[in-house]
Chains A and B, each alone.
Chain A
Amino acid sequence: MRVFAEDYLAESSPIDLLAVGGEGELIALRIGRDGDDAALLTHCLADIGWLRPRVPDFLKLAPTLGLEASAEPRAMLACPGFTRETVTAASSFAARTVELLTYHGVRERGQLRILLGTPDSPRLARSTKPLLLEDPPSDPAEEDPAEETVPHVATATRPQAEAPDPEDSAGGFRTGLRDEDLVLEPLEEEKSFD
């Protein structure tokens, strides 16, 4: 799965992460807190309905994404836990239409690690095959490395960002971009500053 957009406005709220799956299908990933599963399931279903007629538009706008015109969009919902009702509702659709993921944050030696799994029972957040997401090791030369898959999920599942502290707001340079995002066309006009 390759994430190519964040906070992508859909029907009435932004999809947390928009990705392309292995079969060229659009994937809408919603991430919620404990207790959000039921509400977000509705958003997931709306996302699928909203994306379905727009696959041709994505193909035109981003032909290099690897989208497959015939692939049906699907959704993934990540929450710390799910009620039995949500699990049952999700399972009533065709396989993988709405995929449920559990996540837990673990901090080891100062590094945030996110464990992803599947709900195998109500409110149970364990998996036989956990996916481990880690913060990239801190690099003094790079404050905030730009990445689109693993670290974005880890970032989204952190508690709400702390309010910027005016006393310590330096924090170094921030960007979510990578150099390949900045492939520039040659300038043909001069620019001037005031």
Chain B
Amino acid sequence: MPRDLADVLHYFMPEIDADAPSPEASVAVDAPTDPVGAPPPRVRDRFTFAPPDPVSVAPESPPLSILGLPIGDRDVVRAALAWNLSVETARLGDAALLLAPASTADSPLWPEAGPGPLGTELVLSAATGLADLEIHATELAKSHAAKTRGRGIVFVRVPPAWIASERASTQAIHWWLLLSSANRRELRHAVDVAERLHAADPDVQIGATIHGVSSISEASSAFEHLARLSREGFGGALRSYGLLVDDLHVYRAIAAQRPIGLAHPQAPATRALMDVARLLAEDTRSRAIG
């Protein structure tokens, strides 16, 4: 649905907007026929029209952004965080799809495939490797672009093993988000993943979100450590996407299979998720414009 009234004005006043495409509609006018008393053409008492086909009428929308998330099969926390991030992205008014390999269907960590809360959707892919998964992600990004004029994200859950084995991928995923705790072992592992991604695509944009922290300073220190290891290790730069908290509501929400934002809208975990979703959305909008 268009954001501004200005976006749909040409349907009501096609004669004053010569550049607008003709709507696929018939317009019935009940305005008086007396030329003296007739209202200006833009004023119509009643009209009927068929909703225009957004695909045929609207200009082509840029595809949705595609964000890769390395998440293992038994990664309880990251699975929950990724799913909830997609819900919070949808809450912002953007499209949010979650694409995962078909093996995800057997996992209790993920919701059922299909439409989810606030218009999100979990799509299972038959892909058995990163290349096929990227193709599927690209198709989704294009097919869902028209609904929100290119504003939205396709979150792609990628098994870390697929990243390790395919160093030369089709390069459809250029934007990745690493979820790491402040634990040094995990930070080191995140750097290793980032290095593999960078080796496959030197232009890749890698972001990092620190989870499981109890203060902003803790998250900041962890991110700075991660960024320094990346700079020194392979010369790559990381982009910060805030922090997430692992409070009790995260685990309760996992057990209840309900998004944290709906179950506990005031919880710190929800506020953090909303903040990260906002940071991601801001960058996608920059991409749409840039």
> A residues within 8 Å of B by Cβ?
6-7, 9, 12-14, 36, 38-40, 42-43, 61-62, 143, 146, 160-164, 166-179, 181-189, 191-194
Q: Which residues of A contact B76 (CB under 8 A)?
A: 191-192, 194
A49 CB to nearest chain B CB (Å):
15
A36 CB to nearest chain B CB (Å):
7
Q: Is B36 an interface residue (CB 8 A)?
A: no
Q: Which residues of A contact B251 (CB under 8 A)?
A: 189, 191
Identify the closest chain B residue to A12 (Cβ). B1
A30 CB to nearest chain B CB (Å):
11
A183 vs B272: C-alpha distance when bound (angstroms) = 11
Q: Are the C-beta atoms of B278 and A161 separated by less than 8 Å?
A: no
The residues in B between 61 and 76 inclusive whose CB is less than 8 angstroms from any CB of A are 72-76
B9 CB to nearest chain A CB (Å):
9
Given A143-B220, A160-B286, A164-B287, 10 other A-B contacts at CB below 8 A?
Answer: A7-B93, A12-B3, A160-B289, A163-B289, A169-B237, A170-B227, A176-B275, A177-B271, A184-B245, A186-B248
A186 vs B220: C-alpha distance when bound (angstroms) = 22
> B residues within 8 Å of A by Cβ?
1, 3-6, 72-78, 91-93, 181, 186, 203-205, 212, 214-216, 219-220, 223-224, 227, 231, 237-243, 245-249, 251, 265-266, 268, 271-272, 275, 278-279, 281-283, 285-287, 289-290
A56 vs B103: C-alpha distance when bound (angstroms) = 44
A-B pairs with beta carbons under 8 Å apart, 5 shown? A7-B278, A166-B204, A170-B237, A172-B223, A192-B76
B165 CB to nearest chain A CB (Å):
17
Q: Are the C-beta atoms of A174 and B241 separated by less than 8 Å?
A: yes
Q: Which residues of B contact A172 (CB under 8 A)?
A: 223-224, 227, 240
Q: Are the C-beta atoms of A177 and B243 separated by less than 8 Å?
A: yes
Q: Are the C-beta atoms of A191 and B212 separated by less than 8 Å?
A: yes
A181 vs B267: C-alpha distance when bound (angstroms) = 9
* Top-9 shortest CB links A-B: A163-B290, A194-B72, A194-B75, A173-B220, A39-B4, A175-B242, A169-B239, A174-B240, A170-B237
A163 CB to nearest chain B CB (Å):
3
A85 CB to nearest chain B CB (Å):
13
Q: Which residues of A contact B245 (CB under 8 A)?
A: 182, 184
Identify the closest chain B residue to A162 (Cβ). B286
A123 vs B281: C-alpha distance when bound (angstroms) = 32
Q: Are the C-beta atoms of B212 and A13 separated by less than 8 Å?
A: no
Q: Are the C-beta atoms of B4 and A36 separated by less than 8 Å?
A: yes
Q: Are the C-beta atoms of B227 and A177 separated by less than 8 Å?
A: no
Q: Are the C-beta atoms of A171 and B240 separated by less than 8 Å?
A: yes
Q: Which residues of B contact A177 (CB under 8 A)?
A: 216, 242-243, 271-272, 275
Q: Are the C-beta atoms of A193 and B240 separated by less than 8 Å?
A: no
Q: Which residues of A contact B93 (CB under 8 A)?
A: 7, 9, 13-14
A1 vs B73: C-alpha distance when bound (angstroms) = 46
Q: Are the C-beta atoms of B268 and A181 separated by less than 8 Å?
A: yes
B151 CB to nearest chain A CB (Å):
11
B138 CB to nearest chain A CB (Å):
20
With contact pairs A7-B278, A169-B237, A171-B239 given, residues A163 and B286 touching in the complex (Cβ less than 8 Å): yes
A76 vs B241: C-alpha distance when bound (angstroms) = 30
A183 vs B247: C-alpha distance when bound (angstroms) = 9
A165 CB to nearest chain B CB (Å):
9
B110 CB to nearest chain A CB (Å):
14
A144 vs B240: C-alpha distance when bound (angstroms) = 11
Q: Are the C-beta atoms of A7 and B237 separated by less than 8 Å?
A: no
Q: Are the C-beta atoms of B266 and A61 separated by less than 8 Å?
A: yes
Q: Are the C-beta atoms of B278 and A175 separated by less than 8 Å?
A: no
Q: Are the C-beta atoms of B285 and A185 separated by less than 8 Å?
A: no
A62 vs B264: C-alpha distance when bound (angstroms) = 11
A194 vs B275: C-alpha distance when bound (angstroms) = 25
With contact pairs A13-B3, A176-B275, A184-B214 given, residues A161 and B239 touching in the complex (Cβ less than 8 Å): no
